[in-house]
Amino acid sequence: MYKGKARAHTNIALIKYWGKANKEFILPMNNSLSLTLDAFYTETTVTFSEDLTKDTFYLDAVLQDERGTKKVSQFLDLVRSLARKDLFATVESQNFVPTAAGLASSASGLAALAGACNAALNLNLSEQDLSRLARRGSGSACRSIYGGFVEWEKGHDDATSFAKVIPSNQWEDDLAMIFILINDQQKDVSSRDGMERTVATSVFYDGWLKTSPLDLQTAKEAIAEKDFEKLGVVTETNGLKMHGTTLGATPPFTYWSADSLKAMNRVREIRQLGIPCYFTMDAGPNVKVLCQKKDAAEILAQLETTFSKDQLTCAYSGPGLEYLETDVKA
């Protein structure tokens, strides 16, 4: 029996990944930049055993059906090939984040699974190779291997597409991100399907590809300069552009709800009061508010006039992959 357990935190992209250049290897169309956060995370235990006759997957203590297990098994196939071991596994994963609601549960989930497999089978993968492996399960998972500000290099093949830390002199410790939970249910259009439809049909997608590298450069300059307003403006702009591409798809779709718009407008109103804060959204209705840690309490108080307290969570910069236990037996 070979057993390992790992914890990985969610990351929220400030400069978005939206669209695949290669579906098999999950190579992105553009580089992206994220901040790993402490509030939401996944803990995963993997046990490989000669006694098992198939892979089984428990999510939040609920046994998943064949469809729910397929993605995990496909990832385990990569690990088995890498380890040269033909063993089935039991995967037990607990999400301390709503699943498939646009809160990056797949990022933390697949990063934790990659780490647990690395520990269980004593693969001794470097962080870069772990990032590459996690990417094969879910693109954004490659960024959750690391804490703080992280850039995902799109690369041009499996070997060159991985994430890396952006040096910041711990400036991320001065920042916060407030989550406005609009809806924690599964999305009507998954991130994967949404990306595919957008890349294939959106009349706005070329504009997205042309401007994303410029947004990335601006964000990296802002981090180097510790310029919050500069980082906030490009974060908000880039997120809006990403969501704009979905309206140009055939058929058009959006991840926004009426309450998403209400949240975005509320952030603008708070900003007009002289409190710097900027919103972003991933592939879901929930809104994230980037702010400085010193302003977080005041912004929360402002948001509580519109949203209930249980809809609001304040997160700070989070750590990279953590190993919780390893129990390896020959």
CATH number at residue 34: 3.30.230.10
| Cβ atoms of 40 and 93 closer than 8 Å | no
Phi-psi region of 181 (alpha: psi -120 to 50; beta: other; left: phi over 0): beta
Question: Domain residues for 252?
Answer: 1-330
Residues 295, 296, 298, 303: what is their CA dihedral angle, to the nearest 10 degrees? Answer: 130
Segment among 74-83, 89-98, 161-170, 221-230 with least mean pLDDT: 89-98
- pLDDT above 60: residue 288: yes
- pLDDT above 80: residue 38: yes
Q: What is the pLDDT of residues 114-137, one digit of tens each?
A: 999 999 999 999 999 999 999 999
Residue 328: the pLDDT is 45
d(CA 265, CA 190): 25
Residue 99: the pLDDT is 56
Across the chain, what does the average pLDDT equal? 94
pLDDT band at 159 (very low <50, low <70, confident <90, very high): very high
Phi, psi of 40 (to 5 degrees): -120, 135
Q: What is the pTM of this model?
A: 0.94
pLDDT band at 326 (very low <50, low <70, confident <90, very high): low
Residue 103: the pLDDT is 63
Number of domains forming the structure of the chain: 1
pLDDT band at 192 (very low <50, low <70, confident <90, very high): confident
